[in-house]
Amino acid sequence: MPERTRLLHWRSFGPSFLLDSDSCCTYNCYMSNVHVRLHNGFYWLILDRPPLNILSIEMIDQLTSAMLDAIKYSPRLMVFTGAGERAFCAGVDIRDHLDGREKEMLRAVYDNFAAFERLRSHKIPTVALVKGHALGGGCELAALCDTVIAHEDAIFGLPEISLGVFPPVAAVYFPALIGYSATMRLMLTGETIPAKEALRLGLAQQVLPSRRFLADAEELLTMLASNK
């Protein structure tokens, strides 16, 4: 195992958790609800819209912009996570599903999906570090990453059916990822599943125990970055 860089130093996920106090960022940017930090080749994208980091159209566009901006830095690894203890991201704002905003929301989602394809073409690996809820658009965002590392208490789900709509990315992308039957089950029932079930289905690649979550996550991120 290569020598580890001090990456994770926090009591809960948030903008202060990424670095030791005496570390120096290469790049640091704070948008209204998305924080960006580049350090030692790790490009962190932190969703910060308390209490559940629910995505708005503006926030999705901020995220997409930050992802594309990362290309010029050629990071070893891009890590998505959510601020706070309760959620990685609990979905897209209900208001952006209604009142004529659907087309703009779908445009933002499509642009974000395209950004992931750009990152892959530049061989920039992506990781979702999931603690708390990853629902709807948050579940889709995590699943678009190359690797999902989940806390053992994380919850995944696609509750959009309660609004009478299908999750657009999951409808297209999930059948190849977890199979048609599992995709339809999640979309049509709106049920939530624990991290271990997400691992079984293929929505997560690692589930880490609470007592060693920070240490194990740091080790895995360093390993993934060294494989680039």
- Spatial distance between the Cα atoms of 12 and 50, rounded to a whole number of angstroms: 13
**pLDDT for res 14:** 41
Backbone angles phi, psi at 160, to 5 degrees: -60, -25
Backbone angles phi, psi at 174, to 5 degrees: -65, -35
- Spatial distance between the Cα atoms of 72 and 27, rounded to a whole number of angstroms: 12
Cβ–Cβ < 8 Å for 75, 36: no
**pLDDT for res 97:** 75
Q: Which residues are 217's β-sheet partners?
A: none
Cβ–Cβ < 8 Å for 202, 161: no
- Spatial distance between the Cα atoms of 77 and 227, rounded to a whole number of angstroms: 10
**pLDDT for res 144:** 98
**pLDDT for res 205:** 97
23 conformational bin, left if phi > 0, alpha if psi -120 to 50, beta if neither: beta
pTM confidence score? 0.89
Which residue positions in the chain have pLDDT lower than 50?
1-24
The b/e string for 104-140 (b: 16+ C-beta within 10 A; e otherwise) is ebeebbebbbebbeebeeeebbbbbbbbbbbbbbbbb
Cβ–Cβ < 8 Å for 86, 132: yes
**pLDDT for res 27:** 62
Report the CATH number of the 27-226 domain: 3.90.226.10
Domain boundaries, the chain: 27-226
**pLDDT for res 62:** 95
**pLDDT for res 30:** 66
- Spatial distance between the Cα atoms of 49 and 58, rounded to a whole number of angstroms: 12
120 conformational bin, left if phi > 0, alpha if psi -120 to 50, beta if neither: alpha
Please name the residue that has the structure tokens 């030791």. 20
Contacts of 144 (CB under 8 A, 6+ apart): 113, 116, 126, 169, 173
